[in-house]
């Protein structure tokens, strides 16, 4: 008799468990999206770069933040946009964010970004989200990204050369242990863009890789 393959948990359940069990740390917080959303040496250069980009468009872009998490990052960006739509898959997190963060140009929505229709905006922010997902889910999301003018993508990547886009199941972990990281321009995604530019990059200590933010312009 063949051995049964364990069926991965649905991504929604995975992400709920991560927050409930504080698998990204932050046990003193109700919700905590990890060091990548709280460590000053990581978030300051990122915010500087993204605010510079948004300001260069006279704060007139509409933005959709896919995987907004605990909103420790997004809360700094809202005032530099015409409209800011923050999305996450965890319903309790969205309920909490709606209570804590309010502005006339801010909305929160609970969506599964690989399955649900996404809000229409000028710009998409994807900050250390795709790195947790399977290639199948990423493909579904990438197909939707073609409708947006700008994509600001942040990923945790290995230092030096690596094999891009090794597959994984949706989980708290990323591809770093496989010496892999996400490259949307490479197979199997082959994302077509007009231009790409690294706008922020932070090398982490103890050979833990780098946090790289790329601005893609599609049209």
**What pLDDT shows up at residue 5?**
46
Q: What integer is the mean pLDDT of 58-81?
A: 98
Cα 17–chain centre separation: 18
Which tens digits make up the pLDDT trace of 33-64?
998 899 999 999 999 999 999 999 999 999 99
**What pLDDT shows up at residue 194?**
98
Task: Measure the N-to-C terminal CA separation of the chain; round to a whole number of Å.
Answer: 54
**What pLDDT shows up at residue 8?**
65
pLDDT at 7 over 70: no
* Confidence at 206, pLDDT banded by 50, 70, 90: confident
Distances (CA, A) of 70 to 49, 158, 164, 187, 208: 20, 25, 28, 31, 23
State the pairing for strand pair 210-217/195-203: antiparallel
Task: Please give the helix or strand (H or E) that residue 13 lies within, else none.
Answer: helix 11-20
* Confidence at 205, pLDDT banded by 50, 70, 90: confident
* Confidence at 2, pLDDT banded by 50, 70, 90: very low
Residue written as token pair 């990059």: 201
Question: Which domains, ranges and CATH numbers included, belong to the chain?
Answer: 11-217 (3.40.50.150)
Which tens digits make up the pLDDT trace of 87-102?
999 999 999 999 999 9
Q: What integer is the mean pLDDT of 109-120?
A: 97
- Judge whether 23 and 37 are in contact, CB under 8 Å: no
Q: What integer is the mean pLDDT of 202-216?
A: 94
- Supply the pTM of this predicted model: 0.94
CA 158, 207, 126, 33 dihedral sign is positive
Question: Distance (Å, rounded) from C-alpha 104 to C-alpha 132?
Answer: 31
**What pLDDT shows up at residue 130?**
98
pLDDT at 136 over 70: yes
Question: Distance (Å, rounded) from C-alpha 200 to C-alpha 219?
Answer: 22
pLDDT at 1 over 80: no
């Amino acid at each position: 008799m063949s051995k049964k393959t364990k069926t991965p948990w649905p991504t929604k359940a995975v992400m709920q468990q991560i927050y409930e069990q504080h698998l990204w740390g932050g046990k003193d917080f109700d919700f905590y999206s990890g060091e990548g959303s709280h460590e000053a040496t990581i978030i300051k250069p990122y915010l500087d770069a993204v605010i510079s980009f948004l300001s260069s468009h006279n704060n007139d872009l509409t933005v959709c933040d896919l995987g907004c998490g605990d909103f420790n990052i997004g809360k700094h960006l809202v005032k530099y946009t015409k409209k800011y739509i923050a999305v996450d898959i965890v319903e309790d997190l969205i309920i909490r964010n709606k209570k804590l963060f309010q502005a006339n140009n801010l909305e929160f929505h609970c969506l599964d970004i690989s399955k649900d229709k996404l809000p229409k905006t000028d710009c998409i922010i994807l900050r250390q989200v795709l790195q947790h997902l399977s290639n199948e889910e990423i493909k579904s999301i990438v197909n939707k990204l073609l409708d947006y003018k700008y994509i600001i993508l942040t990923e945790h990547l290995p230092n030096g050369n690596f094999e891009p886009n090794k597959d994984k199941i949706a989980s708290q972990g990323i591809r770093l242990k496989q010496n892999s990281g996400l490259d949307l321009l490479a197979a199997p995604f082959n994302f077509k863009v007009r231009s790409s530019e690294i706008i922020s990059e932070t090398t982490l200590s103890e050979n833990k890789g780098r946090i790289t933010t790329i601005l893609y312009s599609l049209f």
